[in-house]
């Protein structure tokens, strides 16, 4: 069975996310910043500043990891108690 494109894989992608791709850019950097979201994703190389546009499908194939740290948006009882 062939693997199909899953559009939900990139739903958590946001502007200014820091990504690591599988292959290095010719400048040697593996790290990129998201600068545009839409049907195509705009990326800027963190090594040399070069910008590229990739389709969501191509980025899903090339992306190794999203290095941006996000906190879980679950509220704890301790923070809710101080609001009353």
Q: What count of other Cβ atoms lies within 10 Å of the Cβ of residue 20? A: 15
Q: How far is CA 79 from the centre of its chain?
A: 29
34-78 pLDDT per residue, tens: 999 998 999 999 999 999 999 999 999 999 999 987 664 444 555
Q: Where are the domains of the chain?
A: 12-68
pLDDT at 25: 94
Provide the pLDDT confidence category of residue 24 given band limits of 50, 70 and 90: very high
User: What size, in residues, is the chain?
Assistant: 84
Strand 31-36: give its sheet, edge to edge: 51-55, 40-45, 31-36, 18-21, 63-66
Indicate whether this model's pTM tops 0.85.
no
């Amino acid at each position: 069975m062939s693997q199909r494109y899953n559009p939900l894989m990139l739903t958590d992608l946001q502007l200014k996310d820091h990504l690591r791709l599988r292959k290095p850019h010719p400048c040697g950097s593996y790290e990129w910043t998201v600068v545009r979201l839409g049907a195509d994703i705009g990326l800027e190389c963190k090594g040399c500043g070069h910008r590229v546009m990739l389709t969501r499908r191509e980025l899903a194939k090339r992306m190794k990891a999203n290095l941006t740290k996000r906190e879980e948006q679950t509220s704890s009882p301790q923070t809710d108690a101080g609001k009353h």
